[in-house]
Amino acid sequence: MTRLTLHEDPLSGNCYKIRLTAALLGLPLALRQYDIRAGETRTPAFLAEVNANGRIPVLEIDEGEERRFLPESNAACWYLADGSALIPADRFDRADMLRWMFFEQYNHEPNVATLRFWLTYIGEANLTDQQRALLAPKRAAGEEALQLMDQHLATRDWFAGNSASLADIALYAYTHVAEEGGFALGERPHLTRWLGRVAALPGYVPMG
């Protein structure tokens, strides 16, 4: 029997993607929690045993004789959803889903998630000069990503294919809390309606 454990911090949207994927698929997932602000993913034990990259989420896959660790949120979501309806059967749609997951990691998360973390969990007054200098460019890039998403959703219900996929889960995680980073979602009606569709999926669990 395979036992799954998510090494996570409940504040993290990257971790939430995996919890949401597991919940939508009805897969049991044990949780092991860390406080990233206290540096708990940078200890020698964590680096040696769990992820040499010093970050969560990490999905631990225990198959009895072998215990393996899979970092990177979108890779872990893929592992859980492989063979399910959350990955489109159509070849183009499957690649298109990956397109949006790469977009999430390159254009969305480094801007929307980072501003949320800095402004809500670290506090503007505690930012370094270097972080402060990045506030404006990250806000502009985050707004651009959210605008592109809203535009894409003007003519369709889901990011790739005709039903919810991992692209929706990956993009939902930090979009639905983007206001904590100072991004206004109300001005984006298609995006707002899509957030409602994701939250209405059977098995949905909230973040945190």
Distance CA 166, CA 198 (A): 11
Shortest Å, Cβ 138 to ligand GSH = 14
Least distance to ligand GSH, CB of residue 71, Å: 6
Distance CA 134, CA 151 (A): 26
CB-nearer residue toward ligand GSH: 87 or 112 = 112
Q: Does 55 bind ligand GSH (CB under 6 A)?
A: yes
Residue 57 is a binding residue for ligand GSH (CB under 6 A): yes
Binding positions for ligand GSH, 103-122, rule CB under 6 A: 105
Least CB distance to ligand GSH at residue 15 (A): 7
Find the binding residues for ligand GSH in span 65-84 (CB under 6 A): 72-74
**Smallest distance, ligand GSH to C-beta of residue 125, A:** 21
Binding status of residue 54 toward ligand GSH by CB under 6 A: yes
Is the Cβ of residue 24 or residue 36 nearer to ligand GSH in the bound state?
36
Q: Which residues contact 120 (CB under 8 A, 6 or more apart)?
A: 180, 181
22 vs 188, beta carbon nearer ligand GSH: 22
Q: CA-to-CA distance for 4 and 16, rounded, in angstroms?
A: 15
Asked if 182 is part of the footprint of ligand GSH (rule: CB under 6 A), the reply reads no
**Smallest distance from the beta carbon of 58 to ligand GSH, in angstroms?**
8
CB 57, min distance to ligand GSH, A: 5
- Of positions 3, 32, 42, 99, contacts ligand GSH by CB under 6 A: 42
Residues that bind ligand GSH (CB under 6 A): 12, 14, 36, 41-42, 54-57, 72-74, 105
